[in-house]
């Protein structure tokens, strides 16, 4: 049987930052010349992002600076600081499990799935490391059966949610009773640091924090009816881009290289990658494209000759939440599950881009629960009489 996403839950930290506030904080750092400040204003203002969320309460309004925190990112005057990697990771260890559990609880509740039904946990993150890790903590925090089978996908970057769904689909195919809880949690702002480097400015203008969880099963009796059938997956490496999107561990946080070539490479390669994935199938009715940034969506739209509203769900998530790395595509799919305009049987193509450059693809079908009509009710009453 085909595995399906029963439900998707999302969670974000309470600190919500307007993009113009983030811009002004970054532009106020010491040591910037006039050109760097102009570049910061131009990049942040062109991002098509209105708000982002962060676990960093230093940037709340009003700011909350706790000197007991292992890593502090702003001083009393609001100037950006650059803590070392170890303390940053300590904040990840303290903040990530709670956000992970919140997204998972939301998915379970929305899907009508009891935690005791979960047989597998697949967690995803590229913004922090610890062991026993997020998969272990999730079992403890949700009170799942201690025999739940677990795996963690780390350091795959923005594309990782689709490989995680592929793993969940494969698990469901091998065990008819499998109920797989997939959770992506990314605290990207923990790696913010002062910089006048153009690539770091771009990264600082788009990345944000969030978590999203999906319940995947092939058992049609589990949870609420409907959802998204997971029809098939694909992976492609582009001909170039190995050095244009890179994620490494530095002394002052994880360092993201995001060159200006990334949107151009995606624009050149996307038609071929999608064409190979879809084969002879007709184009899908709905698109869920990871918004690495506004220019990435623009290039995908142009490269695939899509109508102007085809990526509306992706642009809305980018506007309201920014780029939350792997969690972002699940936020988009969650919005499509709530969208009444996505009809039963509509095919949805999911696309996400990771370091390399890697293009991950998924083809899904929207399944809406059957709605009982008056005739159905009459027949049921007659049968029970």
Q: Helices marked H in 112-217 — which ranges?
A: 134-142, 161-174, 198-206
End-to-end Cα, the chain, rounded Å: 35
Find the helix packing angle between 294-303 and 261-278, rounded to 10°. 40
CB-based contact 357:370 (threshold 8 Å)? no
CB-based contact 353:265 (threshold 8 Å)? no
Residue 333 main-chain phi, psi, to 5 deg = -65, -35
Q: Residue 95: which H helix or E strand, with range?
A: helix 85-111
Q: Residue 303: which H helix or E strand, with range?
A: helix 294-303
Instruction: Give the residue numbers marked as catalytic.
Output: 158
What contacts 135, CB < 8 A, 6 or more positions away?
121, 122, 123, 150, 151, 152
Nearest to 170 by CA among 228, 233, 105: 233
Task: Write out the chain's pLDDT in tens, 385 residues.
Answer: 899 999 999 999 999 999 999 999 999 888 888 999 999 999 999 999 999 999 999 998 888 888 888 889 988 777 899 999 999 999 999 999 999 999 999 999 999 999 999 999 999 999 999 999 999 999 999 999 999 999 999 999 999 999 999 999 999 999 999 999 999 999 999 999 888 888 889 999 999 999 999 999 999 999 999 999 999 999 999 888 888 888 889 999 998 877 888 999 999 999 999 999 999 999 999 999 999 999 999 999 999 999 999 999 999 999 999 999 999 999 999 999 999 999 999 999 999 999 988 999 999 999 998 865 555 545 555 555 5
Nearest to 153 by CA among 124, 180, 131: 124
pTM: 0.94
Burial 245-259 (b: 16+ CB within 10 A, else e): bbbeeeeebbbbbbb
């Amino acid at each position: 049987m085909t595995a399906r996403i029963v439900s998707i839950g999302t969670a974000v930290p309470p600190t919500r930052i307007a993009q113009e506030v983030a811009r002004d904080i970054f532009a106020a750092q010491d040591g910037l010349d006039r050109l760097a400040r102009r570049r910061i204003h131009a990049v942040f203002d062109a991002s098509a992002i209105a708000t982002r969320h962060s676990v960093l309460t230093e940037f709340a309004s009003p700011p909350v600076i706790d000197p007991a925190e292992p890593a502090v990112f702003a001083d009393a005057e609001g100037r950006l600081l650059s803590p070392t990697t170890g303390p940053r990771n300590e904040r990840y260890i303290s903040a990530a499990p709670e956000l992970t559990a919140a997204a998972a609880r939301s998915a379970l509740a929305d899907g009508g799935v009891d935690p005791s039904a979960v047989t597998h946990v697949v967690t995803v993150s590229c913004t922090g490391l610890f062991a026993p890790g997020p998969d272990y903590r999730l079992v403890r925090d949700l009170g799942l059966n201690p025999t739940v089978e677990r795996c963690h996908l780390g350091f795959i970057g923005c594309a990782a949610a689709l490989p995680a769904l592929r793993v969940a689909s494969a698990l469901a195919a091998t065990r008819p009773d499998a109920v797989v809880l997939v959770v992506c949690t990314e605290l990207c702002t923990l790696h913010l640091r002062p910089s006048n480097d153009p690539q770091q400015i771009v990264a600082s203008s788009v990345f944000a924090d969030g978590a999203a969880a999906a319940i995947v099963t092939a058992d049609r009796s589990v949870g609420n009816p409907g959802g998204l059938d997971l029809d098939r997956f694909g992976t492609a490496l582009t001909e170039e881009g190995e050095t244009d999107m890179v994620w490494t561990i530095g002394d002052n946080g994880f360092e993201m290289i995001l060159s200006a070539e990334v949107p151009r490479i995606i624009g050149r390669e996307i038609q071929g990658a999608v064409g190979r994935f879809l084969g002879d199938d007709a184009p899908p009715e709905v698109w869920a494209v990871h918004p690495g940034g506004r220019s990435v969506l623009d290039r995908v739209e142009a490269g695939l000759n899509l109508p102007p509203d085809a990526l509306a769900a992706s642009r809305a998530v980018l506007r309201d939440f920014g780029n939350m790395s792997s969690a972002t595509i699940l936020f988009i799919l969650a919005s499509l599950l709530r969208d009444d305009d996505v009809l039963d049987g509509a095919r949805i193509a999911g696309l996400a881009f990771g370091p390399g450059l890697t293009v991950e693809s998924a083809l899904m079908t929207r399944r809406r629960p059957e709605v009982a009509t008056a005739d159905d009710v009459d027949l049921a009453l007659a049968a029970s009489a």
